[in-house]
Amino acid sequence: MENTQLAAKREIFGWSMFDFANQAYTLLIITVVYGDLFTRIIVGDAPDYRLGNLLWSGALALSYAMVVVANPVCGAVMDYSKRRKQFLFASYLLTVITTSLLYFIEPGWILPAIVLIVLSNFAYAMGEGFIASFLTDLGPRKSLGWISGLGWSVGYLGGMVATIVALLFLGEVSEENFENVRWVGPFAGIFFLVAAIPTFIWLTEKAPKRAKPQHESWSNIAKVRLMDTLSQMHRFNDLRWLLVSIFFSMAGIYIIIAFSFIYGAQVIGWEDHVRVLMFVTVQVTAAIGALGFGVLQTLKGARYIYMLTLWLWILAILAIWQTPSLTQLLNASLGVEWQAQYVFLVAGVLSGLSLGASQSSARALVGTLSPRTKAAEFFGFWGMASKLAAVFGILGLGLMQLAFGLADAIVFCLVLFIFAILTILPVNETRGIDTAVSWQEPSTRADAP
């Protein structure tokens, strides 16, 4: 039965707070602090840190590969058992524990560090899919855009708050400051633990729990449901094309997340205060983009906004690639002496607006085109496509920069977003919604009471 009413404000707030909470992990552990700590201090193969970089990339790739396998299976079990909140709580608890345990890692403890990173990133990424599956319960399909945008918006604000506080109190990543900076794990874990409490207080499971049938295993239930879904995927042609488009767009986005600050240091040559300014700029504009474009989705539709954000990404990539040339052109035309590092902030604004809006609109569009009874399963496919994209994008850019250098390898992102646009063109949002609304799940052995 279709949801025609908005959920209570406190439930939408509780759902959004999970995005607020988990961004502490993304920024502090993956992007800003612990990745640097792992490569330079834990592994410490100076001067080029090639082994550290390789092991860090391998750990993340392994965790994403685990998500690719587990996400659809867990989604199928959750749709059957109506126990999404329990799965969400398990991923949340595992993320908090494994992230907090990073405190005990000493320089040279490479294998224990890799194990904790793989487990914590796996749990965090699984939680992304679990929390997204609740989106369809929070309001009618036309409202999913601004609800998704709200979550992503407060998520970027949460990440910024956590990162600024951590940097102020923990200091720089260095051997001399190791005893302070090692607290980044417990800080991120406790931040996640506390900030996500409203989620588990106010977010509700709409359907009653369903017990596992006698003489049946959860794995077999998942297998039956997934096989049924795959056999019926021809009916969800619009959703299939959307997932392909998300694969290409997320490959480009993961490249920007992983390499933009490296690009700023190696190609643009920015100073430390500009690096900090870029971080704040991206977080603020990403929050604005997610919320603003989310509201526009109610008026224009999720597909329209998603397409618009892809074109915005193309402008952002062009600005990143051509920052040195654009700086020279502006200086010659206007008679000024601007530095490339400050012109690069324009690319940061475009990237930030695109970053929040594209991920928010894609999540909302998946919810819009998914039948309610298969929301967790299809969001599992969404997570699978996103994590496959991470591996493909990061490895692809690594090979491209090896051949052409980082400055020109960024063009690879341009190609990815062009493919994302081409593969979203066949999607008809109205037709996809009609398919999702009219879907009647067939009675299968796994669905028998």
94-117 burial string, b = 16+ CB within 10 Å, else e? bbbebbbbbeebeeeebeebbebb
Answer whether residue 224 is part of any domain: no
Q: Using CA atoms, how far apart are residues 400 and 418, in angstroms rounded to an integer?
A: 17
Reading the block at residue 54, the tokens are 């390789």
pLDDT for 442 equals: 53
216 three-state secondary structure:
coil
Among residues 158, 189, 204, which one ends one of the domains? 204
Give the side-chain half-sphere CA count within 13 A for 162. 33
**DSSP per residue over 60-116, as a string?**
HHHHHHHHHHHHHHHHHHHHHHT-HHHHHHHHHHHHHHHHHGGGG--TT-HHHHHHH
Residues 175 and 238 in one domain: no
Look at residue 413 and tell me if it is in a domain. Answer: yes
Q: Does 449 fall in a domain?
A: no
DSSP string, 113-143: HHHHHHHHHHHHHHHHHHHHTTGGGSS-GGG
Task: Kindly give the residue spans of alpha helices, DSSP state H, lying in 136-196.
Answer: 144-170, 178-181, 184-195
- Same domain? For 299 and 403 the reply is yes
Domain end residue (candidates: 164, 187, 204): 204
Same domain, 364 and 283: yes
Picking from 231, 237, 145, 230, the residue whose alpha carbon sits closest to that of residue 432 is: 237
Tell which residue, 256, 236, 280, has the closest CA to residue 427.
236
Indicate whether 228 belongs to any domain: no
pLDDT of residue 440: 66
How far is residue 12's CA from residue 3's CA, in Å, rounded to a whole number?
Answer: 14
232 contacts: CB under 8 Å, gap ≥ 6 = none
Distance CA 245, CA 226 (A): 22
398 in a structural domain: yes
Whether 160 is covered by a domain: the verdict is yes
Q: How far apart are CA 42 and CA 192, in angstroms?
A: 24
25 neighbors 188 (Cβ within 8 angstroms): yes
One domain, residues 168 and 251: no
Q: Which two tokens stand for residue 394?
A: 């990061």
247 and 379 housed in the same domain: yes
- Domain shared by 128 and 251, yes or no: no
pTM of the model: 0.81
| pLDDT of amino acid 448 | 42
Q: Which CATH number belongs to the domain containing residue 146 in this structure?
A: 1.20.1250.20
Q: Are residues 240 and 163 in the same domain?
A: no
d(CA 62, CA 60): 5
Are 321 and 405 in a shared domain? Answer: yes
Q: Which residue, 204, 219, 250, sits at the end of a domain?
A: 204
The answer to whether residues 236 and 369 touch, using CB atoms and an 8 Å cutoff, is: yes
Note whether residue 44 is domain-resident.
yes
Count of C-beta atoms within a 10 Å radius of residue 169: 11
| Cα dihedral 95, 25, 358, 6 sign | positive
Residue 43: enclosing H or E segment and its boundaries? none
> Looking at the structure, do residues 269 and 357 belong to the same domain, yes or no?
yes
- Whether residue 6 lies inside any domain: the answer is no
Do residues 146 and 280 share a domain? no
The identity of residue 190, as a single letter, is I
Cβ-contact 216, 94 below 8 angstroms: no
Question: What pLDDT is attached to residue 104?
Answer: 97
Are 172 and 241 in the same domain?
no
Give the number of domains in the chain: 2
Those residues of the chain that have pLDDT short of 50 are 444-449
Q: Is the distance from CB of 156 to CB of 24 less than 8 angstroms?
A: no
Q: Distances from the Cα of 331 to the Cαs of 31, 50, 341, in angstroms?
A: 33, 38, 13
Boundaries of domain holding 100:
11-204
* 177 and 277 both lie in a single domain: no
The per-residue pLDDT for range 296-325, each reduced to its tens digit, is 888 888 889 899 999 999 999 998 888 888
Measure the CA–CA gap between 101 and 233, rounded to whole angstroms.
42
Helix 375-404 and helix 218-231, axial crossing angle in degrees, nearest 10: 80
Q: What is the pLDDT of residue 48?
A: 66
